[in-house]
Amino acid sequence: MRKIWMLTCLLVLLFTANARATDIMSFDIFGPGQTKVNILVLPARGPNGAGSTALGTSFGNYVQSDIGYLPFLHLAYLNEILGGDPSKGLKADDIDFKPLQLGRIDLVMTIGSRGSDIEARVYETYTRKLLVGKAYSQVDAAGLPHVADRFCAQLMRVLTGKSGFFDSTLAFSKRVNGGKELFTASALGRGLTQITRDGGFNVSPSWSKDGRHIAYTNISDKGHRLGIWDRAGRFSHLRKFAGNIAISPTYTPDGRIAIALSLNGHAEIYMLDAAMRPGKALAPSWGISVSPSFDLSGNKMVFCSGRLGGPQIFLLHRDSGQVERITYEGTYNTRPSLSPDGRFVVFARLTGDGQRIFIRDLVAGQERQITFGPGNDEDPSFDPDGYFVSFASTRNGGTKIFVTTRYGDPAKQIPTGPGDAMAPAWGVAPALD
């Protein structure tokens, strides 16, 4: 049996009393001005402060790679520190914090390894307090990336109160044999797994909020069918509806599915009941309506509609039935995603340079561009914290999945293996085994 890493807090968490959120550094990643914190990962050490094992060094590399995805952390390097490595061991007493403070390092991380055990600590340099301390035993090379991800999730949680980026699994479409099938992977591209083998084109995946199902559209010469993938049984069920289409199925927070069907001659959004029967159209009009996206309350639904001519983004208040136009700039705005708190909408806009992702603050009424190509950027999707935004882009040739933040931080590509990948959707679900 493959060695499985285990979280054992006992060894190091004698320090947790010092690591209360009230005492330590924390910042609001959603604040108006983003804080950037400098973090230095010291070289891993072996037993008694000696040279590190390969496992410890590798763990340090994975952690630094993970930190690269967090725009509020800036990775510093040892050559920026006067006198080099200021540590003799792993704990606060073994670290000379002065050169770190002079070097404007806010956080310092130590890594220790012995056999298949790893210890990792992050200290705040100005207060010398321990922010995060974890020990992991029975770690093997295969499990090492997951251990690094878990440590970074804990660090992010301590610093920001959120860790959805590390706790989520992305579902997305990939080109396979001339069609498209669905795959899942962590937000860092770990555990890439093909989950459907339906043939045709599987597009527009949407996770149920409990992470147990994915709804999607299957397109083949049989027409459009709603696919529902079951995580427990690892199988899909395809269902045909009246009309010609079954586009953009989306789970609501209470586990129902909203989907665009053509029951009256054009695409309108319907809510399916428990027996998968469509009710009345939501926000009906004579024009196309697709791509519903809900906030966590389920009361707000943004969608794309051609009811006033070209496609624009609209907001439906489901309690009152009121429909509000959200986008006025540009003539082609599509594929919206609503943040869980219902405040922000990201969407794709066709510009003179191609599709770009924009964000609109529904409270402040302001709009800004958050991706800049080149090529086309589309299919934006908020992560469960409403901070990261994944999207598909052709900027590097082919279509690949990238992640930025709602502030438009430099986009990073998520590894999804060879072949085009698109339509990423975040789900609060652990990665598949």
Kindly list the distances between the CA atom of residue 128 and the CA atoms of 39, 97, 354, in Å, as whole numbers in the listed order: 14, 7, 49
Residue closer to other proteins by CB (options 233, 352) is 352
Least spacing, CB of residue 380 vs other proteins, in Å: 10
Q: How far is the CB of 350 from other proteins (least distance, A)?
A: 6
* Nearer CB in complex with other proteins: 151/201: 201
Tell me whether residue 409 or residue 420 sits nearer to other proteins (CB atom). 420
Contacts of 424 (CB under 8 A, 6+ apart): 170, 171, 172, 379, 381, 390, 391, 392, 401, 414
The contact set with other proteins (CB under 8 A) reads: 180, 201, 203-204, 217, 219-221, 223-224, 244-245, 247-248, 260, 262, 265-267, 288-291, 304, 306, 310-311, 332, 334-335, 348, 350, 354-355, 376, 378-379, 422-423
Q: With respect to other proteins, which residue has the nearer C-beta, 13 or 288?
A: 288
The distance of closest approach from Cβ of residue 325 to other proteins in the complex, given in angstroms and rounded to an integer, is 16
Cβ proximity to other proteins, 122 vs 304, nearer residue: 304
- Minimum distance between the CB of residue 313 and other proteins, rounded to whole angstroms? 11
Question: CB of 371: closest distance to other proteins in angstroms?
Answer: 13
- Taking the complex as a whole, how short is the minimal distance between the CB of residue 314 and other proteins, in angstroms? 13
Smallest separation (angstroms) from other proteins to the CB of 146: 32
Task: Tell me if 13 sits within 8 A of 133, measured CB to CB.
Answer: yes
| Comparison of 202 and 405: residue with beta carbon closer to other proteins | 202
Residue 86 or 330 having the CB closest to other proteins: 330
Structure tokens at 255: 């586990």
Q: Which is nearer to other proteins, 106 or 379 (CB)?
A: 379
Tell the smallest beta-carbon distance from residue 335 to other proteins (Å). Answer: 5
Q: Are 365 and 334 in contact (CB under 8 A)?
A: no
Looking at beta carbons only, is 158 or 350 nearer to other proteins? 350
Three-state secondary structure of the chain: CCCCCEECHHHCHHHHHHHCCCCCCCCCCCCCCCCCEEEEECCCECHHHCECCHHHHHHHHHHHHHHCCCCCEEEECHHHCCCCCCECCCCHHHECHHHHHHCCCCEEEEEEEECCEEEEEEEECCCCEEEEEEEEECCCCCCHHHHHHHHHHHHHHHHHCCCHHHHCEEEEEEEECCEEEEEEEECCCCCCEECCCCCCEEEEEEECCCCCEEEEEEEECCEEEEEEEECCCCEEEEECCCCCCCEEEEECCCCCEEEEECCCCCCEEEEECCCCCEEEEECCCCCCEEEEEECCCCCEEEEEECCCCCCEEEEEECCCCEEEECCCCCCCEEEEEECCCCCEEEEEEEECCEEEEEEEECCCCEEEECCCCCCCEEEEEECCCCCEEEEEECCCCCCEEEEEECCCCCCEECCCCCCCEEEEEEECCCCCC
CA angle 187, 190, 196 (to 5 degrees): 90
Shortest Cβ distance from residue 176 to other proteins (Å)? 13
Q: Which one, 5 or 358, has the nearer CB to other proteins?
A: 358
Q: How far is the CB of 171 from other proteins (least distance, A)?
A: 15
Question: Nearest approach, Cβ of 304 to other proteins (angstroms)?
Answer: 6
Closer CB to other proteins, 95 or 245, in the complex = 245
